[in-house]
Amino acid sequence: MRRAQYAWEEKIRRTAARPGIINLGGGLPSAAQFPRADLAAAFRRVIGPGQTDALQYGWAEGEHQLRQWVAARLAARGARVTADDVIVTNGAQQAIGIAADLVLRKGDAVGVEPASYPAALEQLRARGFKLTTLGHGRAAYVMPGINNPTGQPFSAQSMAAVRASGAWIIEDDAYGELKFDGRLAPLLLAQLPRRTLHVGTLSKTLCPGLRVGWLVVPPSLRRRARELKENDDLQANSLTQAIAGDYLRGIDFDRRLQRLRRFYLARATRLTREVKKALPSWRFVFPQGGFSVWVDTGAAVLERRFAEIALDEGVSFDSGSAFVAAPATSGSKSALLRLCFSSVPPARFAEGARRLARAWARVQRASPSKRRRR
Amino acid sequence: MRRAQYAWEEKIRRTAARPGIINLGGGLPSAAQFPRADLAAAFRRVIGPGQTDALQYGWAEGEHQLRQWVAARLAARGARVTADDVIVTNGAQQAIGIAADLVLRKGDAVGVEPASYPAALEQLRARGFKLTTLGHGRAAYVMPGINNPTGQPFSAQSMAAVRASGAWIIEDDAYGELKFDGRLAPLLLAQLPRRTLHVGTLSKTLCPGLRVGWLVVPPSLRRRARELKENDDLQANSLTQAIAGDYLRGIDFDRRLQRLRRFYLARATRLTREVKKALPSWRFVFPQGGFSVWVDTGAAVLERRFAEIALDEGVSFDSGSAFVAAPATSGSKSALLRLCFSSVPPARFAEGARRLARAWARVQRASPSKRRRR
């Protein structure tokens, strides 16, 4: 069942990458925000005369300069963290996997938000953990800063559930710093340090291609975390760690974040305006950060059929079911979907929304009798 | 027990990295062989005007150009492989882990050579697989081209055991192309394609810091392999894949290999000459390839004690027990060790051997009564 789902999603993703398709799925950062010249300068420095560390083996926990930067950023947000607490990982995804393996055994349950990051959900399932609602389970996987896909910070209920449960917390802060108003919620790592395993990444705020993420764990789990990382793949990429470390040392990252927030807020504003215009029956809460808006279409259509018709119309999006661990908790049987405003040029938003509307009209007409079968 | 071992090895490794220590352990390639200028040129091309793919998300299976290169190299060695069969991994280590998870279940046994690569052995143990002698178990993990640590190609016995068993084969070819005479043995992937999972890497022939490895699996396992990779960490590094792909397209890799073989053969010749001079009682078979020589000291000393005294004398090596899955199969109770000639400048070999000899004399004198306790 999952396998078939996977194959289908995969097919949709590949098709969506074709030229001409307006791809409102994927969650990619805007390539216009990649600091190519600055990264090239950093590369020249780390690979300059006599420099070979960036091409050689390194330590399992990662490059020191980069770990210091991560620690300093987290410390500035109130967490008691030093470079020794940070393990550099191959993106946030690997950090989530190591965190889960540190505190869970096969068969354990993990509480997740009503909508959450599909690759994390899939990874947790693949490792043999059961997904359940927040407040239950031996651990919680959450994105309290800014949730993907909703773009909203943690609700008071979610916070209360996590606080009360006493379970381990895997805090995924991938989008946290991209809260548009810049008023970041306190980290769970700062509030509940003894049971929080913190996951971060440069994928959303710098470039995903560098594959630089990190994991911060309580001291009692540190050695084991390092062993798991080493067993997995020895170490993170020496070269891109060196480039990132050098680049980050030389720039004002908070200024970069301010620019990114304005940039993505402007895109969120434009995309949602076009969607409202073209599809007034769709409902969503305007995102407070991140790359996407989480839409409730208000009608029960066959998700797969809609995605296929949309591709036929030349537009793509992320179907909602991949984000929902337990459909029963979603409180809705209508089709949900994630629309990303992050990487498509805004000049195409209006046309994208029109194509979505045409596809929506077609799928509504196509199989009214099947509406309840989902 | 394993944990204590791990902590000790780690301490030794860190100490060995100190300046002044002649580190004959580690298995690092020579930084003198990193093509820094060519990689820099490749970097400039992949990050040039309008180019952003190298910084963006990519596909789980990896970058197409690089996969084509890998497939062409393997095809030239008689394997029926296309780019579709290749998954780029975060070094060979991740490829080994994915391969094991594809064909083994917790508790299954894996046959390994009498001496083998410690990080693979440790990873297999950590995943809950039991290590056994070659010819037994549900799979075999082998380095048939050139074994690490022995530097020898597969023995006829090992080949017969693997052929007869019918088990899955994880073929680790990390050092295979560094056989000094350039007469490479046929790949198991070419001979037994239906049950061989092939692992390769650029770590020994280009640079480990790029973390570019690959896994080739039979078609029936391909989709699952891709899922495992995606669940682990989404994808390999976009930037270093792009750099490697661009660099490899532009060079004559066989000429590079010829140069590397001459380079490492010269180092092997010099180190073994110095070791013979300083420690005539030690026994080894001259390596046919790779980075190291596998030494049988002929005396049962406390391994840990020897390593500590050696560090005190200013020299380091890799203790043998980490390479031996089942000490009973080693056929010897005398201390074994791996000496790497790959990364230390040869001008220091004579002094390194003299330090080893001093340490060896001290450890022999120190605790004769403890000789049998190992």
By C-alpha distance, which of B311, B273, B129 is closest to B303? B311
Q: Cα distance from B91 to chain A (closest Cα, Å)?
A: 7
A38: how many CB neighbours lie within 10 A of its CB?
A: 15
Q: How confident is the model at residue B13 (pLDDT cuts 50, 70, 90)?
A: confident
Q: Which residue positions in chain A have pLDDT lower than 70?
A: 1-7, 326-332, 367-374
Beta strand B283-284 with B315-316: parallel, antiparallel or unpaired? unpaired
Peptide bond into A29 cis (omega under 30): no
Q: What residue ranges define each of the domains in chain B, with the CATH number in brackets?
A: 2-33+255-373 (3.90.1150.10), 36-250 (3.40.640.10)
* Interchain contact B57–A (C-beta under 8 A): yes
B-contacting residues in A 219-248 (Cβ below 8 Å): 223, 227-228, 230-240, 242-243
The pLDDT of residue A230 is: 94
What's the rounded Cα separation, in Å, for the pair B333 and B296?
A: 9
B-contacting residues in A 331-360 (Cβ below 8 Å): none
SS3 A56: coil
The pLDDT of residue A14 is: 79
Question: Tokens at residue A17, please?
Answer: 């990458």
Contact at CB, A56 and B207, closer than 8 angstroms: yes
Question: Across chain B, what does the average pLDDT equal?
Answer: 93
- DSSP conformation class of A296: E
Q: Name the β-bridge partners of A295.
A: A284, A337
The pLDDT of residue B330 is: 46
> Which residues have CB under 8 Å from B112's CB, separation 6+?
B121, B124, B131, B132, B133, B134, B140, B141, B142, B325
Query: Burial of B29 by CB count in 10 Å (0-12 exposed, 13-18 middle, 19+ buried)?
Result: buried
pTM over 0.90: yes
> Which residues have CB under 8 Å from A330's CB, separation 6+?
A114, A115, A320, A324, A336
The pLDDT of residue A372 is: 46
- For the stretch B207-228, pLDDT in tens is 999 999 999 999 999 999 999 9
* Interchain contact B190–A (C-beta under 8 A): no
- DSSP conformation class of A151: -
The pLDDT of residue A6 is: 61
Q: Mean pLDDT across the stretch B127-139?
A: 96
pLDDT at residue B335 greater than cutoff 80: yes
Q: Which residue of B has its CA nearest to A118?
A: B231
Given its phi and psi angles, is residue A5 left (phi above 0), alpha (psi -120 to 50 degrees) or beta? alpha
State chain A's maximal CA–CA distance in angstroms.
71
pLDDT at residue B369 greater than cutoff 60: no
Per the CB < 8 A criterion, the answer to whether A104 and A83 are in contact is no
Q: How confident is the model at residue B17 (pLDDT cuts 50, 70, 90)?
A: confident
The DSSP line for A113-142 is: -SS--HHHHHHHHHTTPEEEETT-SSEEEE
The pLDDT of residue A17 is: 79
Report chain A residues whose CB lies below 8 A from the CB of B98: none
ipTM (interface pTM) = 0.91
The pLDDT of residue A66 is: 97
Q: Mean pLDDT across the stretch B149-161?
A: 96
What's the rounded Cα separation, in Å, for the pair B57 and A92?
A: 13
What's the rounded Cα separation, in Å, for the pair A240 and A230?
A: 18
Per the CB < 8 A criterion, the answer to whether A195 and A103 are in contact is no
- For the stretch B58-93, pLDDT in tens is 999 999 999 999 999 999 999 999 999 999 999 999
Question: Tokens at residue B167, please?
Answer: 């088990």
Q: Cα distance from A180 to chain B (closest Cα, Å)?
A: 22
What's the rounded Cα separation, in Å, for the pair B309 and B304?
A: 9
The sign one gets for the Cα dihedral A36, A37, A38, A43 is positive
- For the stretch B215-269, pLDDT in tens is 999 999 999 999 999 999 999 999 999 999 999 999 999 999 999 999 999 999 9
Peptide bond into A149 cis (omega under 30): yes
Q: Mean pLDDT across the stretch B278-288?
A: 98
pLDDT at residue B345 greater than cutoff 60: yes
Q: How confident is the model at residue B2 (pLDDT cuts 50, 70, 90)?
A: low
Q: Cα distance from A56 to chain B (closest Cα, Å)?
A: 5
- DSSP conformation class of A149: T
H-helix segments, chain B: 2-16, 36-46, 64-76, 91-103, 118-126, 156-165, 188-191, 219-233, 238-250, 253-278, 303-313, 349-366
For chain B, how many residues are written?
A: 374
Question: Tokens at residue B359, please?
Answer: 């340490």
**Host H or E run for residue A158:** helix A156-165
